[in-house]
Amino acid sequence: MFKRAAVVFTAMSCLTLGIVMSAGLTAASGASSTLTLENNTGVTFTDNFNPLDSSSFATQMSVRSLIYEPLFEFDSLKAGVSYPWLATKYAWSNSGKTLTFTIRTGVKWSDGTAFGPADVAATFNLVSSTPAANIWGLPALSSPATVSGDTVVLNYATAEYSNIVAIAGTQLMLPANFGTLYANPGTATVTAPIGTGPYVVGNYSSTLVSYKANPSYWGGAPAASLINVPSYASNTDAATALAAGQLDWAGNDIANVNKIFVNVDKATNHTYFAPGSTVTLEFNVTKWPFTNIAVRQAVSAGVDRSALSIKGETGYEAPATSLSALILPSQAGYLASQYKNDIKSTNQPKTVKSILTKAGFKKNKQGYYALKGKVVKFSMEDPIAYSDYYADIQLMSSELKSEGIDATVDGVEASQWYTDSANGNFDSIEHWGNGGTDPYTQFDNWLDYNNSAAIGKSASADYGRYHNATVQSLLSKLSGTDPSNTAAVKAATLPLEKIEATTLPVVPLLYGADWDEYSTANFTGFVTASNPYMDPSPSDPELPYILMQLKAS
């Protein structure tokens, strides 16, 4: 699931506000057909809308789905709820090894050409045959996708029931010639994207990208005829813009959000922080000291999750309570009793000492634990612009150092962090999980080395390179379990819970919120707690669905 950068509000100078307004944004007060949104800060804008490139503007700002759309839209807040989009239905057969989509008719690409089953088949064939293009970690096809009338048939070597969200809901559809038009589709620069979505690129600049309504959109005209996506170099800028009424929709953790935004106009200003994923400290398990399980266990015991929740996440994200890493409460039905409340909210220095001394570690002259001369030393890398995560790793560094673990802070630019995370170029990172209503979605993101890559090459999952054959087999079993058989899904989940809880390739920290601040001054119809029809954040892949539910105020 895409993380929204945290924002801490402080006063902003008139000069900075003037710069923001001169970039072409319209204030969000009063009727307007322009909707201004942001969901990330500290990103260097590039004139690149390639949905397969992790370094592109569209990817790092998570606005790919304004142009490129999925086959289905899935409500990650409600198990089993989905909405037909570019496909009208899907069906499993062959014991979960064959998936057939019926493709919507009457859809056009933004250049006026017809969209159809051939484009869908070509998209899946490209992703299956080109690892660099498989950024969502789809399972490989056992044979090329085939077209029959208005249907597309996908065949897999094993049952893939649990991968339906990635296949149908996350993978965005591309024109059939995308793979031939761009020799290296995973890294190509796409300045004139052609999609089926409700918007097309209007204007690009390094400070503001605008999208205009696609006049031939199959779903009709969206309420907002123009979408503005501004660049904010700092979290303070984004918070001030929201407080000043320059944003209709934001996706950030904002300190004092009620004071600076909601209470300013309770009739129009709202928030909805839905439970979205488990935030973890992800370890690069190919590197010392995380090749040692005892170190991973000690780090988990040494973290004060209550402090992270209150001081780092402004109280909006609850401390994780289970080492299984399942999201609570949405995945509580799959949680084994032995892993309920097996995490203490505060740090446990005595437990840290016990774990490491039993494993043979001793403190050196500097007061840090070492094993055969190798010190327990590592860095935690996160963007300075993500002030909640940056505050979190600073807190963890202070805690762990006091407990004899030399954990340092590595604050970087957001763009560098995205690249380093994908390439495995880190010791550890705090990162959001994939979320979802089923356990497979999260475990697959953290542990599926089929979707990983060698260090130095971009991976779509398993950033820490936890290459474990047993886990891989368990993931395949869970994916191949019919989701309608709840008892079987729970039984297939338990071994993964045990491995996660005991070996900790990732350490659960918090239950992450899907950040969402919105104003109804210009538009109504946003996701609310009473109507949670979709993940509420302004991000992929839910953007087109939510935007098509909005109405002008």
Task: Please name the helix (run of DSSP H) or strand (run of DSSP E) that holds residue 279, with its range, or none.
Answer: strand 274-283
The rounded radius of gyration (Å) of the Cα atoms in the chain is: 23
Measure the CA–CA gap between 185 and 538, rounded to whole angstroms. Answer: 26
189 inside domain:
no
Query: pLDDT tens digits for 402-438?
Result: 999 999 999 999 889 989 998 999 999 999 988 777 8
How, if at all, do strands 369-371 and 362-363 pair? Answer: antiparallel
Measure the CA–CA gap between 414 and 60, rounded to whole angstroms. Answer: 9
290 inside domain:
yes
How, if at all, do strands 253-254 and 82-84 pair? Answer: unpaired
* CATH number for the domain harbouring residue 110: 3.90.76.10
423 inside domain:
yes
6 inside domain:
no
Q: How many domains does the chain have?
A: 3
The residue behind tokens 């045959």 is 129
Instruction: For 284-427, list the strands marked E by DSSP.
Output: 318-319, 362-363, 369-371, 374-375, 377-383, 406-412
Measure the CA–CA gap between 116 and 104, rounded to whole angstroms. Answer: 8
**Of the residues 150, 181, 212, which one is the last residue of a structural domain?**
181
61 inside domain:
no
The single-letter code of the amino acid at 471 is: V
| Amino acid 438: pLDDT | 82
| Amino acid 341: pLDDT | 95
Domain membership of residue 166 as a residue range: 72-181
Q: In this structure, are 540 and 473 located in the same domain?
A: no
| Amino acid 271: pLDDT | 96
Q: In this structure, are 501 and 520 located in the same domain?
A: no
Measure the CA–CA gap between 384 and 553, rounded to whole angstroms. Answer: 37
| Amino acid 32: pLDDT | 64
The length of the chain is 553
Q: In this structure, are 144 and 206 located in the same domain?
A: no
* CATH number for the domain harbouring residue 38: 3.40.190.10
Measure the CA–CA gap between 258 and 264, rounded to whole angstroms. Answer: 8
133 inside domain:
yes
538 inside domain:
yes
**Of the residues 136, 154, 181, which one is the last residue of a structural domain?**
181
Tokens encoding 350: 């005595």
Rounded to 5 degrees, φ, ψ at 163 are -90, 10
Q: In this structure, are 338 and 463 located in the same domain?
A: yes
Q: In this structure, are 471 and 365 located in the same domain?
A: yes
Q: In this structure, are 151 and 242 located in the same domain?
A: no
- For residue 312, CA distances in Å to 30, 211, 349, 379, 510 come to 35, 34, 21, 18, 11
Rounded-to-5 percentages of helix, strand, coil across the chain: 30, 20, 50
Q: In this structure, are 253 and 281 located in the same domain?
A: no
CA atoms within 13 A on the CB side of 490: 10
| Amino acid 25: pLDDT | 38
Q: In this structure, are 29 and 171 located in the same domain?
A: no
* CATH number for the domain harbouring residue 390: 3.10.105.10
| Amino acid 205: pLDDT | 97
Instruction: For 284-363, list the strands marked E by DSSP.
Output: 318-319, 362-363
Query: pLDDT tens digits for 506-526?
Result: 999 999 989 999 999 999 999
10-residue mean pLDDT series, the chain (553 residues): 38 33 37 87 93 93 97 90 97 96 98 98 97 89 98 96 93 96 94 98 97 97 98 82 93 87 95 91 97 98 97 92 90 92 96 98 97 97 91 98 98 92 95 85 85 79 90 92 90 96 97 93 96 94 98 95
The CA dihedral of 440, 441, 445, 451, to the nearest 10 degrees, is 80
Classify residue 333 by burial, with Cβ atoms within 10 Å: 0-12, 13-18, 19+: middle
Measure the CA–CA gap between 378 and 521, rounded to whole angstroms. Answer: 48
Task: Please name the helix (run of DSSP H) or strand (run of DSSP E) that holds residue 229, with its range, or none.
Answer: strand 226-230
The residue behind tokens 């203490």 is 344
Q: In this structure, are 282 and 405 located in the same domain?
A: yes
Rounded to 5 degrees, φ, ψ at 146 are -120, 155
Q: pTM, whole model, 2 decimals?
A: 0.82
Alpha helix ranges (H) inside 485-536? 486-503
Measure the CA–CA gap between 537 and 518, rounded to whole angstroms. Answer: 10
**Of the residues 181, 211, 239, which one is the last residue of a structural domain?**
181
Measure the CA–CA gap between 261 and 271, rounded to whole angstroms. Answer: 9
The CA-CA-CA angle for residues 509, 510, 511, to 5°, reads 145
| Buried-state track 355-373, b at ≥16 Cβ within 10 A, e below 16 | bbeeeebeeeeeebbbbee
126 inside domain:
yes
How, if at all, do strands 523-524 and 551-552 pair? Answer: antiparallel
Q: In this structure, are 362 and 440 located in the same domain?
A: yes
Q: In this structure, are 90 and 37 located in the same domain?
A: no
The residue behind tokens 């409460």 is 329
Rounded to 5 degrees, φ, ψ at 104 are -65, 140
The residue behind tokens 């002259």 is 365
- For residue 285, CA distances in Å to 289, 290, 465 come to 8, 5, 6
Q: In this structure, are 455 and 358 located in the same domain?
A: yes
